[in-house]
Chains A and B, each alone.
Chain A
Amino acid sequence: MLTGALGGALGGDALAVALLAVLVAASAIAGWSALYGP
């Protein structure tokens, strides 16, 4: 589960870590992409 992601990151749950990392990366990509808007 996603709430376990931070705890999972500390506890070494690979899938939770991967999901959290991908969400942060997706968020960063969305932020950079917004530069090209009006």
Chain B
Amino acid sequence: MVETITPVVYGGRLRWAVALALHVVGATATAALFGAGLGVLGVFLEAPWGRAGMAALAAVAVVYTFGELPRVTAAVPQLRRQVPDWWRGFFSWPIAAALYGAGLGIGFFTFLSHGTLVVVSFAALASGDPLLGAVVVGAFGLTRGLSAARAAHVRSQEDSRRLVDRLAAAPERRRAIANGAASAAVAVLASAQAVRAGDGWASLATAGLAIAFAWAAASKVFDAQAWRRTLAAHGLARSVEGAATFAVPAAEIAVPLLAASGLTRAAGIWALTLLTVLTAEALRAWRRFGPQVPCGCFGGREPVAPPVLLLRNGGLAVVALVVTMREAPQPLLSWPAWPGPGEVLPMALTLAGLGVAGFTAWTAVRWLGQGKRA
């Protein structure tokens, strides 16, 4: 990606310096927004989770510390996308520079070789504080944007190619040590904080259950084709298969909605019911067609070994039981009341603003799509 922000591309050092600044602003802004979004999501999930949250942060950090060791791999969630090359020709150079930065700011959409961003993002979520999330994750965007300054001495296409080759060939060891040390330091300090903090296990269990079922529903909605293929492999009656296509994700999304409405007992009982029904169906399909039948639970297309699925669903059932038995929290979602006499105009303006924003977003997506095909 560094070859997109070089003095060669921008036709001179002054323009390049401006482009680099815009690139840094774009990357920092999207990373900070992403971090703030995680903080807001944390608020909806009752974060901070006290001792439980700090213990979970320490656990995530330990996983990615060990992931930096030679011959050890810890999976890093990422979409492995590259920023589109056509932006450079389609947009004016200042917009392209800022867009390239913005495209890199949310690291999970691109390539990630280290899991440190997972640790940091989990911390932003666990903080339940949008400002803190923005500060912590924003640092990722800032340095990712600034790292394009490595291209300062590029004077020709050949220089650019050589820089890319040099970066690709740079030894991994030093970066692994730096990332491993950073994750280890987070693990140590989060453990120390966990000792000082109190409880939070019920809130963390509710958050975990809500995230698991929201993830399961989202994976089916966003990759509907894979979900339909999974259902087809189960050999259900046509009418049942048709109903399950929509009913299963709808039933799954009810778990986080119930939890966010403060109905934790209902969320836990509903989750237990779903786990029972879906596990029974997976076992039936395995008995009939063999263990190669995919469960499609979280969007994965690979078959899951029966003992692994039983263990995972058993673990989720324990979490659901904890959620069922906990004291109900304050609801974060509630049915809105009718607006009072003085609230009609603000409500109308808000709805109009949302409509305009939605239309603008839709137009922008269509426009960007046309640019891509051009």
Contacts and interface: CB of A to CB of B under 8 A. Distances in A.
Interface stretch (B47-55, B288-296, B332-340): B47-55
Contacts of A31: 31, 107, 139-147
28 contacts: A1-B54, A1-B197, A2-B123, A2-B193, A3-B47, A19-B186, A19-B189, A22-B185, A22-B189, A23-B120, A24-B135, A25-B139, A26-B186, A29-B179, A30-B112, A30-B114, A31-B147, A32-B144, A33-B175, A34-B104, A34-B112, A34-B147, A35-B2, A35-B144, A35-B148, A36-B113, A36-B167, A37-B113
Contacts of A15: 189, 192-193, 196
Given A25-B182, A37-B112, A37-B113, A3 B132 contact: yes
B111 interface: yes
Contact of B107 (A16, A24, A28, A30): A30
A27 B140 contact: yes
Nearest to A2: B127
Given A5-B132, A36-B167, A28 B190 contact: no
Given A5-B127, A16-B193, A22-B189, A34 B144 contact: yes
A18 B145 CA distance: 25
Interface of A: 1-3, 5-6, 15-16, 18-20, 22-38
Interface residues of B, number: 60
Interface of B: 1-2, 31, 47-48, 50, 53-54, 57, 82, 104, 107, 110-114, 116-117, 119-120, 123, 126-129, 131-132, 135-148, 150, 167-168, 170, 172, 175, 178-179, 182-183, 185-186, 189-190, 192-193, 196-197
Contacts of B137: 27
Contacts of B170: 36
Contact of B123 (A16, A23, A25, A34): A23
